[in-house]
Amino acid sequence: MHAHLQTAAPAPVAYGSDGTPYYAAPPAPAPLAIYQPTAVLPAPVAQQQHPTAITYLPAQADVPGRDVWPARLLAGGIGVGAAGVGLGFFLQALAAATTGLGLLAAVLALVWLLKNGSSSGGAHGGAVNVHVNVTNRNR
């Protein structure tokens, strides 16, 4: 989202006899002050200003930013949606893995049954002794 920023026209700059820049703009929105380009401020020295130059520093905005609740709501919705998509991919991968493991277990069980299962004949079945006693009662 783009915030529409209003930019003011640059203020005219007047330079003093020692080369110090003075920014002039009527009316001044902040208390008048001399521009200091360095972070470490030297001890104040009495300077003579150019008689027509007005110096100021830009005013700081004291208005707190608006709470943009639709943006927060949209961001939360995008986060929840992304988490849902990620969870969907995870569950799909888990289902594929369990299907693969199930198929592998079925193949191994079939191989084991073919190797060790009970068959009607063969080397592991051994001999079968059958005793049949038949009596005819009608005689």
Task: Give me 32's structure tokens.
Answer: 């008048």
Q: Where are the domains of the chain?
A: 11-37+48-56, 69-116
With a threshold of 0.95, does the pTM exceed it?
no
H or E stretch at 106: helix 69-116
| Ordered per-residue pLDDT tens for the chain, 139 residues | 555 555 566 667 778 888 888 776 655 567 777 777 766 555 665 556 555 666 666 666 555 677 777 888 888 888 888 899 999 999 999 999 999 999 999 999 999 999 987 655 555 556 778 888 888 877 6
- Per the CB < 8 A criterion, the answer to whether 34 and 2 are in contact is no
